[in-house]
Amino acid sequence: MEEIFKNFLDQIPSEIIAKTETHSYMNMIICRPTSYIIGLEACFEDYHFILPTSDPPPLKIEHRLHHFSKGKLIPIVPETRILCAKPAPTRQYIAMMVKKEFLTDISRECFGKAELTFSRTPNPYSPQLVHFIGRFEEELKEFQDSSPLMLQSISVQIAIQLIRESGNQNTTRPKKQLDRNYIERAIEYITDYYNAKITIEDICQEIHLSPYYFMRMFKDATGQSPHEFLLTVRVGKAEEMLKKGISIQEAAKLCGFVNSAHFSKLFKKVMGIPPSEYKRSYFIIGK
């Protein structure tokens, strides 16, 4: 983890790091320092957020002096030069880094635009954001990184909350058309590769979405999970094959089912009757 956030940690004096409670996982590092770095200019390659619990010292951002107050979220975009010129009495506060690629991906998936533009006027940070940060820390304290899905889920919640509370205008941007585009691309991929052993990860890699967001969005749009939709497509393709006289065993194989028994069970669930009965009734009616 030190290597992932090396750019950040290399700019923090060792005596401050030694006194700071720090928790990190993949795309996020959360620190609880008891003092600010005074007289040393820093420039980080990732998104930097400060949640002060007391009025912080004046902060120079790109050589312009800013005065912030406690309870207000301070967002700083990557490659921005910052400097605390003079000390101030400080209680423990939260400072965090979020990987640039991760936050822009979340912004694109949830709000339709990767570019993040923060408000010049800091907004109050919410109890919900503090709660999510606390859950992230508690998960690492109690379970380390043994439950990556849980940590990933909490990280996504923190990222979304940070974007919302930083005054980012993208959060109000309509995204229905963008969602439809993702759904259409996913359906096209499923339809093209229905007979292969495709997974959620395969689909998400193709359309460039995270599995967590994609599954929720797909279910909202279609009323089915991606897996349920894939099975429906496979049954529909198998139905077409049965009508052409292809055997049940061959149809099951060509449509990607594990075996004919598995195929028969799902076919009956979708169509209401077993494939053998369907095929028999189809040809009787056809005659």
Q: Which domains does the chain have, with CATH numbers?
A: 6-171 (2.60.120.10), 174-287 (1.10.10.60)
pLDDT in tens, 92-125: 999 999 999 999 988 888 777 777 888 767 788 9
Confidence of residue 173 (pLDDT cuts 50, 70, 90): very low
Residues 6+ positions from 264 with CB-CB distance below 8 Å:
248, 252, 274, 275, 276
Angle among Cα 231, 237, 238 to the nearest 5 degrees reads 85
Query: How far from chain centre, in Å, is Cα 111?
Result: 12
pLDDT at 284: 57
pLDDT at 5: 87
Which residues in the chain belong to E strands, given as ranges? 21-25, 28-32, 42-43, 47-51, 59-61, 64-66, 74-76, 81-84, 94-98
| β pairing state of 59-61 and 28-32 | unpaired
| Sign of CA pseudo-dihedral 10, 12, 17, 18 | positive
Residue 47 pairs in a beta bridge with 98
pLDDT at 254: 94
Report the helix count and the strand count for the chain, using DSSP H and E. Answer: 12, 9
Residues 6+ positions from 66 with CB-CB distance below 8 Å:
58, 59, 60
Confidence of residue 263 (pLDDT cuts 50, 70, 90): very high
CA neighbor of 103 nearest in space, from 93, 113, 92: 113
Mean pLDDT computed over 125-148:
92
Report the b/e string of 129-166 with b at 16+ CB within 10 A: beebbebbbebbeeeeeeeeeebbebbbbbbbbbbbbb
Q: Residue 172: pLDDT above 70?
A: no
Query: How far from chain centre, in Å, is Cα 21?
Result: 25
Q: Identify whether the C-beta of residue 242 lies closer than 8 Å to the C-beta of residue 282.
A: yes
Q: Identify whether the C-beta of residue 81 lies closer than 8 Å to the C-beta of residue 43.
A: yes
What's the start-to-end Cα distance of the chain, in Å? 69
Cα–Cα distance measured from residue 81 to residue 11, given in angstroms and rounded to the nearest whole number: 12
Bigger pLDDT: 282 vs 183: 183
Cα–Cα distance measured from residue 230 to residue 209, given in angstroms and rounded to the nearest whole number: 18
Cα–Cα distance measured from residue 85 to residue 153, given in angstroms and rounded to the nearest whole number: 37
